[in-house]
Amino acid sequence: MISAIDEFISLATKSGSKEFYKLMGKVGGKLSNVTGVVVSGLEYTNGKISGLELTFDVGASVGSIWISAQVGATFGGGWGFVAGAATGVVSEYVIKPLYTNYVYPQLVVPTQKIYNSSWTGFYNNIIFNISRYH
């Protein structure tokens, strides 16, 4: 543990150390994704977002980390950062608004209504038939 702290201090004190900036980029990227997931979890707990939106947020964060790691391992850290950031931006500012404004109200809500009404009718039919014979 002490050697890791010593290594960090030596990297931080070198003027213009590329390794230090790489380290800070990795730590900052991982912390921002973890923080995003925690905030989404709290919003879900407080009833501000749905379970589907929580799932999307967690999936977008995990996807961003995975894409960033794969591109970074293949082409280098800078390209990995760009790919991860682009994934996060596209998911947050393109896909999420499309889902919220079009897919959810036009597809999900009507499908839920059909599903709920069919199951309600099914259960009411069973209860009616049971009560009729008892």
pLDDT for residue 106: 92
10-51 per-position pLDDT tens digit = 655 665 556 655 666 666 656 666 677 788 888 889 988 888
Rounded to the nearest 10°, the torsion over CA 71, 77, 80, 86 is: -160
Q: What average pLDDT does range 63-68 have in this prediction?
A: 82
For residue 23, give both structure tokens. Answer: 């380290």
d(CA 26, CA 68): 10
> What DSSP character marks residue 16?
T
Percentage of the chain lying above the pLDDT 70 cut:
74
Q: Where are the alpha helices (DSSP H) in the chain?
A: 2-13, 18-45, 51-75, 77-90, 96-98, 109-133
79-127 per-position pLDDT tens digit = 877 888 888 888 888 888 888 899 888 988 899 888 888 877 777 777 7
